[in-house]
Every structure is written in structure tokens, then in C-alpha cells.
Amino acid sequence: MSDHGTYIKRPNRPLQIYAVIFLIVLYVPVLFIPLFSFNESIYVRFPLEGFTFRWYRELWTREPVWNALFNSIKVGACVAVISTILGVIAARAITRYRMPGKSALVTFIMMPLVIPGIIFGVALLVLLSRMGIPLTLYTVGLGHLIVCLPFAVATLLPRFEGFDPSMEEASADLGENGWWTFWRVTFPMVFPGVVASLLLTFTISFDEFIMAFFLTGTDPTLPMYIWGQLRFPQEFPSVLALSSLILFVSFILVFFAQWVGRMGLDEQNQEAL
């Protein structure tokens, strides 16, 4: 970093203070969730009424909460895998082959990024109901797939763009078969993109509410369940407890990943970003 000139090295005090305040404001609303998960009252309001682990204990017996969580994980995992596979296919084709109307195609795939979710939600609802298809987790998954695909393609495209096809050819020339070429050459090159795409699409699907609202049948996803609990709280503190656990686990995972990949990654990121 020594090539950064003199002025950048100077610390900027006001900006530093701003950054700290920014982070605090960013975190305060989110930290209310774990805070209230230890509160004794079923209603989320001040003043706090006493410390308890009750909601965490009860969480184990709250079947609907777990069902909703597993529904979300299932939909999220399937959507992540399919959208990433489709994303790989699309990104490969876009970067590899010359074809007419390529930019129009890319624009078409990116369309869901610039259309409010509610419009997709109602459009799909109308289509499904005209076709007489009942609303299930599959319909939610279909909706999420459409929202997630542009993100998958957008994350994967840069990886494929920087990918030199001659590497694959070289591998083929050396007598490797197609599968080996993919596994040994292509895959490692695009692997970070694939992981990023899987993570991103899973996260999006996991928290997607607007389309799920129109497309959910009897099995609620977690956001749909939370929506119900916000309005008619029978098990709301359990939802808070579960969300706190999710938050806690993601913190641990992220920092663990960060810690593991410290040495190599840090330098790489400095250059890549």
C-alpha cells in the first residue's frame, strides 16, 4: 500500500468519526432482535421486563417455526443450486460464443433487477392461477429463481470474461478428457464465482418476501411466517430467538472464514477490489 500518495495516508478524523456513527446506526436496529429475544414479555416494547432464556428453550418445541425455517432453507438451497447452474451455462455461452442479439439477451436476463418484485409476484400469480397450478413451495422457488438468476449471471460473468479459452484447449491437447478439463481447469478458475453466486442467491431467496407473499401455499417460508407473527404474535419471541441464532451463526461463520482465509485472501482482495 506504500504507493498510495502522501495525502491519502493522512488520517481523516471527521470521516473516522462519521464511520463509527454510521456503523452504530446501522447496527442498533438489528441488535434489538437479540435484545428482545431475552425479554420476558411476549410484546416487543419498552421497558424491558426481565431477562430470560425461556424463548430459546421453547424454540425447540415450536414446530411451526422450524418447519418454516426448513422450508426456507430447502427453497433457498434449490434456488441457489439451480440458478448457479443456469448462471454458469448462460455466462459460458455469453462469453464463449458469438451470437446475434447477445447484448439484448443479457439485458433480458438482467430485467428482473429493474422490475419491482411485486410486479413479478402478481404476474406469476395470474399465470399460475390461469393454468390451474396450485401454490406450493415449487411456485415460490420458481419466483425466487427468476429474481436470483440475474444475480447469479452478474456474479459469474466477470469470472468467465477473464477466463482464457486457450487454457481449456491446452488441456484438451494434453489428452485430458472433457470432464477432467472442466474439473481441473475450468472449475478452479470459476470456483470463487460459483461460491459467490451460491451464497448470494441463497441469501436473496432466504429473505425474499414480496414474491413469496403472492406465491406461497400452505407451507410458509420463514419470512412469510414472520409476517404472520408480526401481526398475530403467538410465537413471536421464538421468531426473535431463532433470528438471533441465525445472526449469531452467520457472524461466527463469516469471521471464521475471514480468519481462515486471512493470509492469502487479504492480499488478493487488496488487488482484486
CB of 53 to other proteins, least distance (A): 20
CB of 84 to other proteins, least distance (A): 9
Stretch that binds other proteins, among 6-14, 51-59, 158-166, 185-193 (CB under 8 A): 6-14
Lookup: cell for 13? 478524523
Q: Which of residues 237-256 bind other proteins (CB under 8 A)?
A: 239-240, 243, 246-247, 250-251, 254
Helices (H), ranges, 97-231: 102-110, 117-131, 137-161, 165-173, 178-181, 187-207, 210-215, 222-231
Cα distance between residue 242 and residue 248, in whole Å:
10
Cα distance between residue 94 and residue 157, in whole Å:
8
Q: Is-contact 18 218, C-beta < 8 A?
A: no
Residue 45: φ, ψ to 5°: -160, 160
Choice between 12 and 170, CB closer to other proteins: 12
Binding to other proteins by residue 270, rule CB under 8 A?
Answer: yes
Contacting residues for 92 by C-beta, under 8 A, at least 6 apart: 160
CB of 82 to other proteins, least distance (A): 5
CB of 259 to other proteins, least distance (A): 10
Per-residue CA distances from 4 to 1, 9, 119, 264 (Å): 6, 7, 47, 21
Of the residues 61, 98, 231, 263, which one makes contact with other proteins according to CB under 8 A: 231
Binding mask 189-228 for other proteins (x = CB under 8 A): --------------x---x-xx--xx--xx-x-xx--xxx
Residue 39: φ, ψ to 5°: -85, 145
Q: Is-contact 39 52, C-beta < 8 A?
A: yes
Of the residues 52, 54, 56, 78, which one makes contact with other proteins according to CB under 8 A: 78
CB of 46 to other proteins, least distance (A): 6
Q: Which of residues 143-182 bind other proteins (CB under 8 A)?
A: 145-146, 149, 153, 177-179
Binding to other proteins by residue 27, rule CB under 8 A?
Answer: yes
Binding to other proteins by residue 81, rule CB under 8 A?
Answer: yes
Of the residues 40, 48, 57, 133, which one makes contact with other proteins according to CB under 8 A: 133
Q: Is-contact 238 253, C-beta < 8 A?
A: no
Choice between 52 and 247, CB closer to other proteins: 247
Binding to other proteins by residue 94, rule CB under 8 A?
Answer: yes
Q: Is-contact 241 37, C-beta < 8 A?
A: yes
Binding to other proteins by residue 114, rule CB under 8 A?
Answer: yes
Q: Which of residues 36-75 bind other proteins (CB under 8 A)?
A: 36, 43-46, 64, 67, 70, 74
